[in-house]
Amino acid sequence: MTLAPEVLHSAEATTAELLKSLIDLGMAFKDQEQIYARRLAPTAIRDLVVTDLPDAATSLADLVAEFQHDLLPLCKNEASPQFLGFGDTGDDPAALAGSLLAMFTQQNLINQSFDSPSATFVEIAVLRWFRDLIGYASPPLPEVSTVWTAGGVVTTGGTMSNTIAMMLAREHRFPGTMQSGVTDPGRCAVVVPRGIGHYSIRSSLAWIGCGNAVIEVDTDGFRYDLAGLRHALAEHRDEIMAVVAYAGDSRTQTVENLRAVHDIVRSKAPAAWLHADACWGFMATFSPTTRRLVDGIDLYDSVTVDPHKVMAVPYAVSALVTRDVEALRAISSHSDLIMQEDFAFGQVTPFVGSKPWSSLKLWMTMRAHGRHGLAALVERRFATMRDFVMAVDSRPRFLRLHNPDLTACAFLWLPPSTDLTAPDLNRINDVNKRIHGRLLADGEWYLHQFSIPDPGVLSLGEQLHPLRFMSVNHRITTAQVQGVLDEVDCLGLQITRETGPTKESRR
């Protein structure tokens, strides 16, 4: 959509009129089928965009026109039904409304009394809804008299929520570290599943002074190998500060055996903090039919949720909720400058000073859907995933790596005449990497790619580079499911023609 010049350049156009016209522009962008209107090399974009600050002022109308002409066509539209690699569509109408209103009202949740009289309580309401979905008990409302009885904290993303969880783990293991600093990083180890964890855990340990003490345990089908977990806990008992389980890992979204992991950790390493990263798995709590997938999550000490991944809300919003409603007291900070009041979220949000009203878009979205609407949202995504699985399984040159638990499916394209009994993994990985590269360069479709240990489909434990489809976007229909598979097949065949036959077919 191009804004009409009369709107942009009319001398009488008020700020409000101009801003209203930008909503049309934003919606047209989200509604477009395309992911990108234009692709350029990074250096070409650098040279286009990175300029000196001019001395002269530019009118807002001219800036919007320049944005439309130069920047917007290069922007990624993740709400496009052809963007099939992630789920951060940010297109829920109520969430967009909440984002706009939060921007206009400019509340600052660092304090409550003068800074965010009502916003603070919207945040508390949302945290209590999250706790309820997870299965954590919350105190009766009259007992909610401080931020420490809210039972969680809204953050900027899963990385920050996980970092705060690791701070809680550290303080739980070594009370007083907030004052004394870390004295024995060797005893701050965190157990994670090998090869499938998210880097935020390792990074957060470095950020909070715990070093690089990650203990990786082997996996079986993208979940902890439970015997391996028992063994690691026994072997490293004195070093372990926390155990992390993924309710939907970042690659295949496989949900951990949460209850079994809990039972093992509580019996073998009872002092360890047990954290569930449910950035993805949170969506399973929306519907009674999918809730069983995260059975036992309410037994964990803390849970990360990441609504910008699973609730179609714009960036950036996540939350950490804790089983012990007052757990965040242990890592609070105080200042006599500001925040000397019971409902100041500034006291319980590490790393953050001024704090935006990110929870308004959640409040709007959750109210607009209601429990039933949220359930319908997740059930639709699961139905789309079932369609994808059927489609991929019906095609001879495609190989699925797993049975999807949630909304992600990793698969490989196999060159013709691949011998499944002695597959040429280098060749298969190479072709799949090239397919991904071409998809990215063309910009018409998007599938994600990563490396992952083979769960046993070709050669157990070897690194694979599959493509990944995700079924979060509500605009995906059979047309996109078939369309992207046709495209992958076509690119794969083209690449094998260009690069020659496989090792197996030469034999």
Ligand X SMILES: Cc1ncc(COP(=O)(O)O)c(C=O)c1O
Judged by CB under 6 A, the residue of 77, 159, 177, 502 near ligand X is 159
Structural tokens at position 357:
């009203």
> CA-CA distance, 348 to 160, in Å (whole number)?
13
Q: How far is the CB of 160 from ligand X (least distance, A)?
A: 7
> CA-CA distance, 364 to 123, in Å (whole number)?
11
Q: How far is the CB of 26 from ligand X (least distance, A)?
A: 22
- Each residue 233-262 as x (binds ligand X by CB under 6 A) or -, in order, gives -------------x--xx------------
In this structure, the number of other CB atoms found within 10 A of the CB of residue 5 comes to 10
H/E/C letters for each residue in 88-148? CCCCCHHHHHHHHHHHHHCCCCCCCCCCCCCHHHHHHHHHHHHHHHHCCCCCCHHHCCCHH
Rg over alpha carbons for the chain, rounded to the nearest Å, is 25
Q: How far is the CB of 156 from ligand X (least distance, A)?
A: 7
* Pair 363, 370: CB distance under 8 Å: no
Q: Does 365 bind ligand X (CB under 6 A)?
A: no
Q: How far is the CB of 318 from ligand X (least distance, A)?
A: 5
Q: Does 318 bind ligand X (CB under 6 A)?
A: yes
Q: Does 158 bind ligand X (CB under 6 A)?
A: yes
Q: Does 200 bind ligand X (CB under 6 A)?
A: yes
> Measured from the CB atom, is 147 or 279 closer to ligand X?
279
How far out from the chain centre does Cα 94 lie? Answer: 20
Q: Does 306 bind ligand X (CB under 6 A)?
A: yes
> Measured from the CB atom, is 250 or 359 closer to ligand X?
250
Q: How far is the CB of 414 from ligand X (least distance, A)?
A: 27
Structural tokens at position 264:
């093992």
Q: How far is the CB of 159 from ligand X (least distance, A)?
A: 3
Q: How far is the CB of 94 from ligand X (least distance, A)?
A: 20
Q: How far is the CB of 198 from ligand X (least distance, A)?
A: 4
Q: Does 149 bind ligand X (CB under 6 A)?
A: no
3-state secondary structure of 306: coil
Q: Does 193 bind ligand X (CB under 6 A)?
A: no
- Residue nearest ligand X by beta-carbon distance: 158
* Pair 410, 401: CB distance under 8 Å: yes
> CA-CA distance, 356 to 100, in Å (whole number)?
12
In this structure, the number of other CB atoms found within 10 A of the CB of residue 426 comes to 10
Q: Which stretch binds ligand X (CB under 6 A): 117-125, 156-164, 182-190, 324-332?
A: 156-164
Q: Which stretch binds ligand X (CB under 6 A): 57-65, 158-166, 173-181, 432-440?
A: 158-166
* Pair 221, 455: CB distance under 8 Å: yes
86 burial level (CB within 10 Å; 0-12, 13-18, 19+): middle
Q: Does 423 bind ligand X (CB under 6 A)?
A: no
> Measured from the CB atom, is 398 or 446 closer to ligand X?
446
> Measured from the CB atom, is 222 or 345 closer to ligand X?
222
43 burial level (CB within 10 Å; 0-12, 13-18, 19+): exposed
> CA-CA distance, 241 to 269, in Å (whole number)?
9
> Measured from the CB atom, is 466 or 492 closer to ligand X?
466
Q: Does 282 bind ligand X (CB under 6 A)?
A: no
Q: How far is the CB of 271 from ligand X (least distance, A)?
A: 24
Q: Which stretch binds ligand X (CB under 6 A): 154-162, 217-225, 231-239, 430-438?
A: 154-162
Q: What residues contact 148, with CB distance under 8 A and at least 6 apart? A: 325, 326, 328, 329, 332, 348
> CA-CA distance, 295 to 293, in Å (whole number)?
6
> Measured from the CB atom, is 168 or 491 closer to ligand X?
168
Q: How far is the CB of 85 from ligand X (least distance, A)?
A: 11
How many residues belong to the site for ligand X (CB under 6 A)? 14
List residues near ligand X by CB under 6 A.
157-159, 162, 198, 200, 246, 249-250, 277, 279-280, 306, 318
